[in-house]
Amino acid sequence: QVRVAESGGGSVQAGGSLRLSCMVTGYVGSDYCLGWFRQAPGKERERVATIHTLNSKPYYADSVKDRFTIVQDNAKNSVYLQMDSLEPADTAMYYCAALPSPRAGWFSCRLADFPDWGQGTQVTVSS
């Protein structure tokens, strides 16, 4: 059974940093996409950052480029999102998700739907 579990959310002032962690268990094989998504109240879900476990090729939404960094640790079946220079607009529920055996490899990480999701962790940035 696939399990995706996030941790590390919290409250921080603008300009601060947070690091989100996610562990994925239950997959057979090592070829999959890992991603961070977020959804703020009243807004659509946004693909924040993704990475492919074999080829890396990180993707970032324009809204977080140069501030957020996605890092994978395949030995620990984990992915992290380092968030720096946080802004109030980053306030949202953040979700970790996984996509096993993506058809188009790393390219799928940027566009495809992810089938396996965590429960989410809240990030609140105050001004």
**With 90 as the cut, is the pLDDT of residue 36 above it?**
yes
Which tens digits make up the pLDDT trace of 61-118?
A: 999 999 999 999 988 999 999 999 999 999 999 999 999 988 888 889 999 999 999 9
Q: Residue 29: its pLDDT value, please?
A: 78
Percent of the chain with pLDDT over 90: 83
**With 90 as the cut, is the pLDDT of residue 7 above it?**
yes
Q: Please provide the DSSP assignment of 45-91 as one string.
A: -EEEEEEETTTEEEEE-TTTTTTEEEEEEGGGTEEEEEE-S--GGG-
Q: Residue 68: its pLDDT value, please?
A: 98
